[in-house]
Amino acid sequence: MKKIAVLTSGGDAPGMNAAVRAVAKVALAKGMEVYGVRRGYLGMVHDEIFQMNGSHVSGIIDRGGTVLLTARCLEFKDPKFRAIAAENLKKRGIEGIVVVGGDGSYRGADLLSKEHGFKVVGLPGTIDNDIIGTDYTIGFDTCLNTILDAMSKLRDTATSHERTILMEVMGRHAGDLALHATLAGGGDGVLIPEIEEPIEMLAYQIKERRRQGKLHDIVLVAEGVGSVFEIEKQLKEKVTTEVRSVVLAHVQRGGTPSGFDRVLATKMGAKAVELLEAGEGGVMVGIESNELVTHPISFAWEGKRKYDIRKDYELALTLCK
Ligand code: ATP
């Protein structure tokens, strides 16, 4: 295969640039032509496709966000628009596509492959760590560290005012960010979408902590659990401490990628090019037990998650006391 394209799609994640850089540099080193697609599938439909050289990926490894830009493109669910995108790729002789994004982006790539014969490789780029078939996604580690930084700051003020702070973090379907932040940041409570916990449990935990003389509580709440303000309202009826909510929101997406994310993205980007060079496609790249692995791309929605979140959740509860 001589010509490949790379795009970032779905929500941006720190480390996406490192992945794009690796794809471009490794492909160029192998004598391939590399094309960048701007604005994800939207740019593919609107023909925002350009040939990349080394200068396009120079100085981007430490930058958050994505230099290729990203966008949602609902039209891509319609085969008519996928045909337009396919034509734009084919007229340049592009045969392989690397998409960095979440499972929605993989679905788009899978359809493009099945309908128009492209070889596609998906790289997991999302802060939520919610992609099946990989232990870690590109961007998760950086985001976790951003949350930990905010937690430390919030703890200072929470202790000074003896408050309970509910800290809402990202994670619509997966509680990984909230749970890992609890484990790494010494959180005092955690609510995640995978495990239903009655508000009474949390209230009991907070009262117990205060009985022990603790001056503050930082409770991590994954956004998928529901409105943090509603949880605050319910909690206020059950505890006597002052409860405040903080929504970290889009701050979590930004920032220079961590060393871990850069290395992960770089190795995955290189692997994607190797796969395409060998004529392989229809796969996603993951990391499992510290090894790069591949799965059929549909594993992201048909497979089963390896991570036993309940075990870590129980550990977190023990440490929250
Ligand atoms: P994240 O959830 O982390 O933001 P994602 O890749 O899952 O990442 P989505 O918004 O679900 O994000 O998908 C990104 C893009 O992929 C969509 O805007 C759309 O262009 C395309 N896409 C998603 N689902 C499909 C689908 N079922 N068929 C075709 N294209 C799809």
Both structure tokens of 205: 């935990």
Distance 101 CA to ligand 1 centre (A): 8
Report which ligand 1 atom has the smallest distance to the Cα of 103.
7
With a 6 A CB cut-off, is 73 part of the ligand 1 pocket?
yes
Distance 123 CA to ligand 1 centre (A): 13
Q: Which of 12, 78, 110, 128 is catalytic?
A: 128
Report which ligand 1 atom has the smallest distance to the Cα of 71.
18
| pLDDT tens profile 40-64 | 999 999 999 999 999 999 999 999 9
CATH 3.40.50.460 domain extents, the chain = 141-254
pTM of the model: 0.97
CATH 3.40.50.450 domain extents, the chain = 3-139+257-302
Residue in 75, 76, 77, 57 with CA at minimum distance from that of residue 67: 57
Distance 196 CA to ligand 1 centre (A): 27
Distance CA 174, CA 317 (A): 17
In the predicted model, residues of the chain with pLDDT beneath 50 are none
Q: From 3.40.50.300, 3.40.50.460, 3.40.50.2020, 3.40.640.10, which CATH number describes the 141-254 domain?
A: 3.40.50.460
* Catalytic residue check, 135: no
Distance CA 52, CA 66 (A): 15
Q: Whose CA is nearest to atom 23 of ligand 1?
A: 104
With a 6 A CB cut-off, is 224 part of the ligand 1 pocket?
no
Hey, what's the torsion of the CAs at 157, 216, 193, 235, to 10 degrees?
-100
| pLDDT tens profile 188-210 | 999 999 999 999 999 999 999 99
Residue in 90, 74, 119, 55 with CA at minimum distance from that of residue 280: 119
Residues in the chain: 321
Distance 183 CA to ligand 1 centre (A): 30
ipTM: 0.98
Distance 72 CA to ligand 1 centre (A): 7
With a 6 A CB cut-off, is 130 part of the ligand 1 pocket?
no
Distance CA 102, CA 122 (A): 8
Q: Does domain 3-139+257-302 have CATH number 3.40.50.450?
A: yes
With a 6 A CB cut-off, is 215 part of the ligand 1 pocket?
no
Residue with the two structure tokens 């955690």 = 190
With a 6 A CB cut-off, is 126 part of the ligand 1 pocket?
yes
With a 6 A CB cut-off, is 103 part of the ligand 1 pocket?
yes
Q: Whose CA is nearest to atom 19 of ligand 1?
A: 73
Both structure tokens of 106: 């993989």
| pLDDT tens profile 131-144 | 999 999 999 999 99
Neighbouring-strand partners of residue 243: 164
The predicted pLDDT at position 27 comes to 98
The predicted pLDDT at position 321 comes to 83
